[in-house]
A and B are shown apart, each in its own frame.
Chain A
């Protein structure tokens, strides 16, 4: 019955056959020169292991003997050599997530001439570090990343750090399941037989009665019919459940602990190395100052929590003054558990566990629909914002709100806004609205505009609603400003539309409607300035990852667009980025949700010399 393992062995045979022919190509590659000049040499073995989480033991795969893999501490400008030995009985690979390097060293099998590392083989990676910051590395083969093949990379800058910290910790968040990834994928793909296998929060008859009591029978029936008509489940927030959520490989009870002395400045390099989990991260009682996103320095921004896409990293500084323990708390957006760690002045302490946040319900707006009910809220009618009429508005909770673009906002004319029609209005789910001009407006305070959240944070509506309490600040992409000015201020000459598509019930995920290698690769000319417009036509968020190059998020920050290697595109939304195609090669471009990528949500992004066709 286990077709997956059969499939693997068949593939192995194919690869073994292919390798005989390709081995020559690999050894001829110029990166395999003499290694004598390397500044850093390191051996990493990949092998099966066991890991114990909160007392329960299961299987995993370790790089360098541990899960997560050892943190690689390097320095900008160094040339590093890493020998990776495969001690598994299946092919493996290691991809250096976020690093700028030559294609063959990127570690994505099937791209740039890189071949997977076969069982028993050793592959030598060699590259010069052209950047500083927090990055990570993980397997790019099968479901191995889910099984524990991930670790942090910390690159010290060659020049002075723009931030100073007394302590520096790596915080790797991940999700672990005792199930084999192949089995997870199979259950997701069995369609009608296993429909909604991992969703244990579907709407039931009881929910119907509860909603009918609250919203009225008519509204509830209409709501159910709307979803039924589209054959969608508004509780579909995550594809896979049954996860334990880990901090540096430790479960919530294991309680990974980092020490500080009160008054110290602590830098946390937080990495979302999950296979499938988008988190909401906070440290109750301790505001965080974000100083880097995806390894790249940003103008510091003080926040209370952030939403964390798979593959992203944020460096934050915290200044704990009190002699007490603080809890680093990360809840997956489907709220099926939490990851937890402690910042404490002494070993053995544990911070309080905060109240769990409610699980949001998706709305029609998350489907990119429901524009009609938002009609009254166009920018025109927001003219002439009257501060006097906003006595209840707490300015301190809106640090990111830009005066300029919002200057015309007239709250007075919003009085007539039909709140019942906004039932479905999630904090960020305002498709009719141009988000770029709303730079910095934080979701927390917007949540208060909606009925559900107004009652308190016991209910959340819409994908973006993290149930952030009023008066606290959740990071918004619009808050991110690159620390250095954009190096390439040219207007993009080419715009590429990437529709994020899929057949959820079949678990076929696609880009522009095509599975990997069934669609047309994206081709751009070397040196060009490109705009990519992600149009998310699905009701899930997709963390889109481009290998080889940073993209610059068009978030309204003009000449300081933040550089990202993963951009989380919310359901039903459009997000655009720019990039300078200055790394030649054939780069993977995919959704970083592991099972989405495995189901086809990937394409090739080819940067090549300009030809007549480009």
Chain B
């Protein structure tokens, strides 16, 4: 089985690379020659957002967590690269996920995204096909919904939502919620069926500049259902509260 999947993985990565090329070309082609003569609009935009880079203090082991996103592309077509993960302060990564997504504007507030996700950790490394949408829901909720199909054919999904509440122009309170669902049990990854876990966070950041904001906050993770049982069987807690400090910045 694994042999086949490594082949599949290679195919998926190739598809990702192809997407990159297609996107770049499309973004270029989108700018007609006349426009270039006096539009200063750059043919290609790119940015890198380190949305969360934080130290989490919790019972037991402290961790370093990250959530980084970047894109390159034009108004309509973009290529997103996302990285997300966690590692104990001392030691190697426990979770490390990368996504390469082709993203297309479908309305003022929504992008549809397809691509690949590859988890380097936890072991065994797993590759997924990804389909989802990202955007701004009414009342200014940033929403990211993704469905994953693993190389082993396991279907799962993730829903993230966040909201920026301005206390002042610079002091911003950000509640975040994340929920993961799995369609079936994935023994290798200690995942049960149904809702596997939820995570709620509340971060208070101060925008020293728009581009740079340190923050403090709390984060609560809770494994649910079968997944929680599996975790407990390993002798670990199904829930964890942590106090976080970190920075958000972008270029």
Q: Do chains A and B touch in the complex (CB under 8 A)?
A: yes
The residues of A with any CB-CB pair to B shorter than 8 Å are 1, 3-4, 6-8, 10-11, 14-15, 18, 91, 93, 108-110, 115-116, 140-143, 181-182, 185-187, 189-190, 192-194, 197, 200-206, 225, 228-231, 503-506, 508, 515-518, 597-600
Interface residue ranges of B163-215 to A (CB < 8 Å): 165-169, 210
- Give the size range of B's interface with the partner: 35 or more
* Structural contact, B46 and A3, CB atoms closer than 8 A: yes
Please name the residue on chain A nearest to B137 by beta carbon.
Answer: A231
B11 CB, nearest partner CB in chain A, Å: 31
Question: Which B residues are in CB contact (< 8 Å) with A225?
Answer: 139
Are the CB atoms of B139 and A228 closer together than 8 Å? yes
Min CB distance A222 to B, Å, is 13
Choose among B49, B165, B169 the residue with the greatest number of A CB atoms under 10 Å from its CB. Answer: B169
Residues of B within 8 A of A18 (CB): 33
B140 contact from A6, A231, A506, Cβ within 8 A = A231
Q: Are B40 and A142 in contact (CB under 8 A)?
A: yes
Judging by beta carbons under 8 Å apart, are B167 and A205 in contact? yes
B109 to A141, Cβ gap below 8 A?
Answer: no
Total contacts A-B at CB 8 Å:
119
B124: interface (CB < 8 Å) = no
**A108 contacts B38, C-beta separation under 8 Å:** yes
Contact of A228 among B36, B140, B251 (CB under 8 A): B140
A59 to chain B, nearest CB (A): 16
When chains A and B are docked, how far (Å) is the Cα of A205 from the Cα of B40?
37
**Residues B42 and A142 in contact, CB atoms below 8 Å apart:** no
Chain B neighbourhood of A143, CB < 8 A: 40
Nearest-Cβ distance from residue A87 to partner chain B, whole angstroms: 19
Q: Tell me whether B35 is interfacial, beta carbon within 8 Å.
A: yes
The answer to the question of B238 belonging to the interface, with a C-beta cut-off of 8 Å to chain A, is: no
| Separation of A193 and B138 alpha carbons in the complex (Å) | 18
Instruction: Report chain B residues within 8 Å CB of A516.
Output: 32, 34-35, 39
What residues of A have a CB within 8 angstroms of the CB of B169 in the complex? 200-202, 204
Pair B42/A1 contact, Cβ less than 8 Å = no
Known: A185-B41, A192-B136. 9 other contacts (CB 8 A): A1-B251, A6-B44, A7-B42, A7-B43, A141-B37, A142-B39, A225-B139, A506-B75, A516-B34
Pairs A–B under 8 Å by Cβ, sample size 15: A3-B43, A7-B44, A11-B37, A110-B34, A141-B37, A186-B45, A189-B41, A189-B75, A204-B169, A231-B140, A506-B75, A506-B108, A516-B35, A517-B35, A600-B39
B105 contacts the other chain (CB 8 A): yes
Which residues of chain B have a CB within 8 Å of any CB of chain A? 32-49, 69, 75, 105, 108-109, 136, 138-140, 142, 165-169, 210, 250-251
The residue in chain A whose Cβ has the minimal distance to the Cβ of B70 is: A193
Q: Is the CB of B37 within 8 A of A110?
A: yes
A506: chain B residues at CB < 8 Å are: 75, 105, 108
Q: Which residues of A contact B167 (CB under 8 A)?
A: 204-206
Q: Which residue of B lies closest to A229 (CB)?
A: B138
A446 smallest CB distance to B (angstroms): 31
Query: Do B41 and A600 touch across chains, with their CB atoms under 8 A apart?
Result: yes
Alpha-carbon distance A14/B41, docked complex (angstroms): 15
> Do A14 and B139 touch across chains, with their CB atoms under 8 A apart?
no
Contact of A517 among B34, B69, B136 (CB under 8 A): B34
Residues in A whose Cβ lies below 8 Å from that of B48? 1
A4 to B41: give the CA distance in the assembly, Å.
8
Of all chain B residues, the one with the shortest Cβ separation from A1 is B251
Cβ of A232 to closest chain B Cβ, rounded Å:
10
* Closest chain B CB from A297 CB (angstroms): 32
Q: When the two chains form their complex, are residues B33 and A231 in contact, meaning their CB atoms are under 8 A apart?
A: no
**Which residue of chain B has the shortest Cβ distance to A194 in the bound complex?**
B210
Closest beta carbon of chain B to A239's beta carbon, Å: 14
List of B residues within 8 angstroms of A110 by Cβ: 34-35, 37-38
CA distance A515 to B251 in the complex (A): 27
B38 near A505 with CB under 8 A, answer no
A-chain residues with CB within 8 Å of residue B37 when the two chains form the complex: 11, 15, 91, 109-110, 115-116, 141
Are B139 and A185 interface neighbours, CB within 8 A?
A: no
